[in-house]
Each structure stands twice: as C-alpha cells, then as structure tokens.
C-alpha cells in the first residue's frame, strides 16, 4: 500500500512536469529525477490513465487525424481552382480574338498604305 501511494505521488508530479514541458522534460529525464526506471514510470502512468479512461495521446498531437485535416475542404478548393481556371481560359480566348482582330486591322492598314 505504501509503495502504491508513493507511485501515486511520483506519477502526479511526473505528469505535472510533463505537462508543463518548460524544460522539455522527457519520461526518461523525469524517471531519472525520481530515481526510478523509465519503464516502471510509464507503466504506472499508463495504469493511472486507464483507470481514469484518459485516452493515450502524444503531447502536441493533432486533434484531427492528419488525413482528415489535409483533405478537409479539398473538394471545395478543387472546385475553386477549376472555376478559376475556366475564367482564365475564357479571358485567354477573348484576348486571342482581340489579338487576331488587331493583326487583321494592322495588315489591312499596311496593305492600304502600300
């Protein structure tokens, strides 16, 4: 019982150190600080988390899975790109028509002057 109480104190302090993360505390450094094995520390922390139903999550992990995060809005973005591409293509067609018209006018003026 005394050993369990000791591990409760160690785990509580270790989780606080890990959460603070001011000095970039790793589980190994924390275990060394308390004079316990890293594997034992992580074992007892895991047991406490399971008892409290705390999900295992790495510090700094994304809330949304990476694939979902990257793909969210992709369809809308793709549609925006397509509509933008259609607009650019239409502008190019109009400019090509204007260039052809100007070339015809220039050829007509050059022919008329000679």
Q: Is residue 13 part of a domain?
A: yes
Mean per-residue pLDDT over the chain, rounded? 77
10 and 38 in a single domain? The answer is: yes
CB-based contact 21:1 (threshold 8 Å):
no
Residues spanned by the domain of 13:
2-52
Q: Residue 69 corresponds to which tokens in the numbers above?
A: 């995060």
In a domain, 75, yes or no: yes
- State whether 70 and 47 are in the same domain: no
pTM of this prediction? 0.42
The DSSP secondary structure of 21-58, one letter per residue, reads -TT---HHHHHHHHTS-HHHHHHHHHHHHHHHTPPP--
How many separate domains does the chain show? Answer: 2
Same domain for 46 and 12, yes or no, is yes
pLDDT in tens, 40-87: 988 888 888 887 776 655 555 555 555 555 555 666 677 777 777 788
Burial of 15 (0-12, 13-18, 19+ CB in 10 A): middle
In a domain, residue 58? The reply is no
């Amino acid at each position: 019982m005394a050993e369990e109480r000791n591990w409760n104190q160690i785990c509580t302090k270790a989780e606080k150190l890990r959460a603070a993360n001011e000095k970039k505390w790793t589980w190994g450094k924390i275990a060394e600080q308390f004079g316990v094995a890293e594997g034992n520390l992580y074992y007892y922390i895991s047991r406490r988390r399971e008892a409290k139903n705390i999900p295992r999550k790495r510090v700094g992990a994304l809330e949304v899975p990476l694939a979902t995060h990257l793909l969210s809005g992709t369809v809308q973005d793709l549609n925006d790109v397509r509509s933008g591409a259609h607009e650019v293509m239409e502008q190019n067609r109009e400019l090509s028509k204007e260039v052809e018209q100007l070339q015809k006018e220039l050829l007509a003026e050059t022919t008329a002057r000679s």
